[in-house]
Amino acid sequence: MMLVRIKSLKMQRFESIAFRVIFVSLLCWFSACAPSIAPFSARAYEMTVDLKVDALKTIKRAEDPWEEHADRIEALQTRLSKAYEFSAGRPRNELSTEQWLVMLDPEGYLLGGMLARWRKDSTLSPVFIHEASLLVEAGFDSIIRLESGKVKGRESNAN
């Protein structure tokens, strides 16, 4: 009788331990799951906001001949390339990187395309500059909204 009781107690203890082990494993599995998209990056956010301001300031001067602003445009393009590379280097950040590609494509019709057209035509008309700037601005806003909509984690400030 005593032996049966001891066995039963041991069994209960084993079940209790097994139960905890299973749930701790489950918890570890949940925590270890990689996120679907890169977490929010304060650095990416700041870079994009700065570039939006500078890009819009630069293309507003497209009434002037391209050559007059060539240095400024080249500096802007270097910073845009850095932002793209930063985005491309972050794991699970393909959607933001694709956004940068669309924005910067010289054969496209946003910032990259506008700078290419400015270079080709030397000057652009004020109405065209205004209308195209609205599209470029909306494009930057979209990139910014995606970044700020990402999950804020512990590494957000470090990235």
Partner 1 sequence: MSNQIANSLLEDILNQVAQELNDTLPSIRTRLLDAGRETLSDQSHLLAHWMSLASAGSLSREDVGWLAKGNMDLGRLTALEQSGLALADVDRLRQAITSSVISSIGKAILS
Contact positions vs partner 1 (CB under 8 A): 12, 15-16, 19-20, 23-24, 26-27, 30-31, 33, 35-37, 95-96, 98-99, 102-103, 105, 108-110, 113, 117, 125, 127-128, 131-132, 135, 138-139, 142-143, 145-146, 149-151
Q: 55 and 80 in contact (C-beta within 8 Å)?
A: yes
Look up residue 154 and give its DSSP letter.
Answer: T
Q: Is 92 helix (H, G, I), strand (E, B) or coil?
A: coil
Write down how long the chain is. 159
Nearer to partner 1, 50 or 98 (CB): 98
How many whole angstroms separate alpha carbon 104 and alpha carbon 87?
13
Q: Which tokens hold the place of 151? A: 């999950």
Nearer to partner 1, 49 or 102 (CB): 102
Q: Nearest to residue 89, comparing CAs of 50, 35, 32, 41?
A: 41
Q: How far is the CB of 146 from partner 1 (least distance, A)?
A: 4
Q: How far is the CB of 147 from partner 1 (least distance, A)?
A: 9
Q: How far is the CB of 26 from partner 1 (least distance, A)?
A: 7
